[in-house]
């Protein structure tokens, strides 16, 4: 049976939550493979709106197994709070339908404090993090001083892990003007939360491989977008993990041969939250209209998103680095009513034409987009569920995007509603 990886092909906020939820109807297991609760997915199901951060999007569907993989960094206190909130909306979450990998790193309170202290320094350029400790936790993971889910089960091991971490963090905190970590209070807090987290702990790598051998369909869910990838994004204005599709394997413990299809979620225009380069950004009435019509505010932070025209160069680039087989084009309805639309087909760098975004930060800041103009449409695409319901010019726009990014459109989303989706190619087709 086909196993599908879902990744964002831009700077995140592409509408992955809805598409993962829509696809999860065809899946048996939904596995989150990277990121933390800095990401936000909004799901609209009937009259109910679910806002998820750490939980996989599949939790709102009954009869599915949701998995938090080892590639995620997890704030245990936030997770329990999120579970309680979703339960109040009528969703049953228990160890039978939610598993957390035993080797998942845990975000500690000192990670968030460090994150915010760094961002508050005026002497260095801000990255634009959410201040939730994601980056510092990934640093500790690589530095071999992180606390993992399995460590909560043994008091002696947990104390050793804490002591190792504080040997690093207390001197660092002193240099930033922060008080030393209260070791006793932290151990007490971890002891209290352990009883709530450990029932969900499982050898996820083993479970997923068994599910695969049993012919179950697995949907791998990423957070953020490929342009925020720590290696292939607009560094240093990126997230702290690998976001591209290859991370689905290492972030869950399943081999890369288990991945049958990569679906890239792609917004019909471009947005970005936080700092960093953005070649097609609009500071005019068109940009304001995109933001207002698209309700472009971050699910996690509430920050206003920067808006711009569709950048085919960037999406073609991320489709290549993630091995995308097909894209899901989202928010097409936001473009309704524009007389003209522009698509970035290349960049000008000091008089030289490029068909990709250069790696060097100074060059990224200097590129100017080369646009192709396409006629817009006046009829509504909102709620369309078939090609026949789309205006001819909207279809032309979609087809031109396919040509420019060298990748076919598999799905088209025309509203936040789950069923307002045009299926072209089923990623789960055998």
| Residue 169 annotated among the catalytic residues of the structure | no
For residue 208, count other CB atoms closer than 10 A to its CB: 26
Catalytic residue among 21, 28, 37, 41: 41
Backbone angles phi, psi at 123, to 5 degrees: -85, -10
Instruction: Retrieve residue 383's tokens.
Output: 């709620």
User: Is residue 154 flagged as an active site residue?
Assistant: no
- Please check whether residue 311 is in contact with residue 280, taking contact to mean a CB–CB distance below 8 angstroms: yes
Angle at 128 between CA 125 and CA 133, to 5 degrees: 110
End-to-end CA distance of the chain: 6
For residue 316, count other CB atoms closer than 10 A to its CB: 19
Helix (H, G, I), strand (E, B) or coil at 62: coil
Assigned token pair, 275: 């700092």
Q: For the residues of 131-198, what is the DSSP string, one character each?
A: SSSHHHHHHHHHTT---BGGGGG-HHHHHHHHHHHHHHHHHHHHHTTPPPP-HHHHHHHHHHHHHHHG
Burial, 35: exposed, middle or buried (Cβ in 10 Å; 0-12, 13-18, 19+)?
buried
**How many angstroms separate the CA atoms of 41 and 50, rounded?**
8
Which positions are annotated as active-site residues? 13, 41
């Amino acid at each position: 049976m086909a196993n599908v990886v879902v990744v964002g092909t831009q700077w995140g906020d592409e509408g992955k939550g809805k598409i993962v939820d829509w696809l999860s109807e065809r899946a048996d297991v939904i596995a989150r493979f990277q990121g933390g609760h800095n990401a936000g997915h909004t799901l609209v199901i009937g009259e109910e709106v679910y806002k998820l951060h750490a939980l996989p999007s599949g939790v709102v569907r009954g009869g599915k197994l949701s998995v938090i993989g080892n590639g995620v960094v997890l704030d245990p206190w936030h997770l329990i709070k999120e579970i309680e909130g979703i339960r109040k909306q009528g969703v049953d979450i228990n160890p039978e339908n939610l598993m957390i990998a035993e080797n998942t790193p845990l975000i500690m309170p000192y990670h968030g404090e460090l994150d915010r202290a760094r961002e508050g320094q005026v002497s260095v350029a801000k990255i634009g993090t959410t201040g939730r400790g994601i980056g510092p936790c990934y640093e500790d993971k690589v530095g071999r001083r992180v606390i993992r889910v399995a460590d909560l089960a043994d008091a002696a091991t947990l104390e050793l892990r804490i002591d190792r971490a504080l040997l690093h963090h207390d001197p660092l905190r002193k240099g930033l003007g922060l008080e030393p970590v209260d070791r006793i209070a932290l151990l007490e807090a971890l002891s209290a939360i352990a009883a709530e987290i450990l029932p969900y702990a499982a050898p996820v790598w083993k479970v997923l491989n068994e599910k695969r051998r049993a012919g179950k369909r697995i949907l791998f869910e990423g957070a953020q977008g490929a342009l925020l990838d720590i290696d292939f994004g607009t560094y240093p204005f990126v997230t702290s993990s690998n976001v591209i599709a290859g991370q689905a394997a290492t972030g869950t413990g399943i081999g890369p041969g288990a991945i049958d299809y990569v679906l890239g979620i792609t917004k019909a225009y471009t947005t970005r939250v936080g700092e960093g380069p953005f070649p097609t950004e609009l500071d005019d009435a068109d940009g304001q209209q995109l933001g207002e019509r698209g309700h472009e505010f971050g699910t996690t932070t509430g920050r206003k998103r920067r808006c711009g025209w569709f950048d085919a160069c960037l999406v073609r680039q991320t489709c290549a680095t993630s091995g995308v087989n097909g894209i899901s084009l989202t928010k097409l309805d936001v473009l309704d009513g524009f007389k003209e639309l522009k698509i970035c087909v290349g960049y000008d760098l000091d008089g030289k034409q490029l068909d990709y975004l250069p790696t060097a930060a100074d060059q990224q800041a200097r590129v100017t987009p080369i646009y192709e103009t396409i006629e817009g449409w006046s009829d509504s695409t909102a709620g369309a569920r078939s090609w026949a319901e789309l205006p001819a010019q909207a279809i032309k726009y979609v087809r031109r995007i396919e040509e420019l990014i060298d990748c076919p459109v598999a799905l088209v989303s025309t509203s936040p509603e789950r069923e307002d989706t045009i299926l072209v190619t089923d990623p789960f087709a055998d």
